[in-house]
Amino acid sequence: MIKLSFCAAGFWLLATTFTHATDVIGFHETTMDKEGTRPLHVSVWYPTGSEEETAVVGENRAFYGVPVIRDAAPAPGRRPLILLSHGYGGSWRNPSWLAMGLAARGYIVAAPDHPGTTTFDQDPSRAATLWERPRDLSRIIDGLAGNSGLAGGVDMNRVAAIGHSLGGWTVTALAGARFDGERFEKDCQSKASPRACALKEALGLARPELERDMRDPRLKAFVSLDLGLARGFSPESLAALQVPSLVIAAGIDIGGLPPKLESGYLADHLPKSSSTYVEIPDAMHFSFMGLCKPGAVELIEKEEPGNGVACRDGGTRSREEIHREVAYLVIGFLATAMPTE
């Protein structure tokens, strides 16, 4: 069986796209709160001066991996931190192509496997505690801020978060957006968001705990990549967000996540002075995942009928070209939203 979370793009894509990028990236996996009730597996990419041999991580028969130096010593100095949040049923491997590009630009990048909603833990009871997802990201900030030996020193004045799909919802909540259960229920009755409403029970979207404030004041910017569940956020809470944001939507809907009703809704209600909305016409929802190997669609369809869409894109451009555009937008936004002091 091929797990769709085992995906990443070739590192050369971003290393050759941007000048002044390093091609030496350290990588470390750790578990935070290992003995607690919600142990959190976290993967971290970071600049390093090590000259040891690289190893490929996150590769399988369908998706390419990325070359890293495992457990390398971090490069000296304090660096900005980027948190990456995967989608429903995904893992840290999904955004590893972007993690590599960001680390090459000098960022420390950390991505968790969100318990209950990751490939490696689909426990229904944990999945139904969606409010824990933003808290996972806050726990990573806590852990890295107090452990410079793991990935280097963190500049706590430059912390951002990027999320794809359900991860986009996660980082928006971390920025201070508030879920309104009554509004979400009315929206479901209107049948405006069929895919989001189909996840109501699985994600505990009717539970009052989801309406709590999940904001982390340490977050300085966030990026949403074709998010879902956006219409559950109250317009008032979105309008009140002061954190700079970049909202990127896939122009081609593959079923239940139309850009105008999800990313478009988010963009419509965020402050115009601090938010930017971009729709990529030929991107599909899974275009934000990693690069697929030749024959990946057929391979996946044979083992998991219907899931070959994870390796399909919507136009004549390759996924490499779409990644290049996304990376250009994200890195440019972060440089503006969190400038070097």
Domain-embedded: residue 35: yes
3-state helix, strand, coil in the chain (%, to 5): 35, 20, 45
Which residue range is the domain that position 139 belongs to? 12-55+62-337
- Whether the CB-CB separation of 45 and 99 falls below 8 Å is answered with yes
Percent of the chain with pLDDT strictly greater than 90: 80
More confident residue, 194 or 185: 185
Residue where the block lists tokens 């979105």? 238
User: What pLDDT sits at residue 193?
Assistant: 74
pLDDT of residue 12: 34
Q: What does the block give as tokens for 210?
A: 């989801």
Q: What is the pLDDT of residue 191?
A: 78
| Sequence-separated (6 or more) residues with CB below 8 Å from residue 323 | 9, 13, 14, 97, 98, 287, 291
The pLDDT assigned to 241 comes to 97
In a domain? residue 126? yes
Q: Tell me whether residue 224 is in a domain.
A: yes
Give me the pLDDT at residue 19, please.
39
CATH of the domain at 297: 3.40.50.1820
3: in domain: no
pLDDT of residue 22: 63
Judge whether 327 and 98 are in contact, CB under 8 Å: yes
Mean pLDDT within 154-163 = 97
Is 50 exceeded by the pLDDT of residue 7?
no
Q: Establish if 1 belongs to a structural domain.
A: no
Residues 9-47 pLDDT 10s: 333 334 334 434 567 899 999 999 988 889 999 999 999
Please check whether residue 243 is in contact with residue 276, taking contact to mean a CB–CB distance below 8 angstroms.
no
pLDDT number for residue 192: 77
Tally Cβ neighbours within 10 Å of residue 161. 30
The CA distances from residue 286 to 74, 82, 165, 227, 231, in Å, are 32, 21, 9, 11, 20
Mean pLDDT score of the chain: 91
- Residue 258: the pLDDT is 84
Round to whole Å and give the CA distance between 175 and 22: 30
In a domain, 7, yes or no: no
The predicted-structure confidence for 238-270, as pLDDT tens digits, reads as follows: 999 999 999 999 999 887 778 989 999 999 999
Give CA angle at 153 (133, 42), nearest 5°: 30
State the total domains in the chain: 1
Gap between the Cα atoms of 94 and 290, Å rounded? 6
Taking CA 284 as the corner, what is the angle to CA 322 and CA 266, rounded to the nearest 5 degrees? Answer: 100
Residues in the chain: 341
DSSP annotation of 291 reads P
pLDDT in tens, 164-179: 999 999 999 999 999 9
Listed residue (225, 43, 15, 34) closest to 118, CA to CA: 43
281-323: pLDDT as tens digits? 999 999 999 999 999 999 999 999 999 999 999 888 999 999 9
- pTM comes to 0.92
- Has residue 198 got a pLDDT over 60? yes
Least confident of 19-23, 103-107, 217-221, 319-323: 19-23
pLDDT for the residue 8: 32
Is residue 42 domain-resident? Answer: yes
> Does 2 have pLDDT greater than 70?
no
Average pLDDT of the segment spanning 123-132: 96
Convert the pLDDT of each residue in 59-102 to its tens digit.
989 999 999 999 999 999 999 999 999 999 999 999 999 999 99
Question: At 340, is the pLDDT very low, low, confident or very high (cuts 50, 70, 90)?
Answer: confident
Grade residue 341 by pLDDT with cuts at 50, 70 and 90. Answer: low
E strand intervals along 86-152: 108-113
Report yes or no on 148 lying in a domain.
Answer: yes
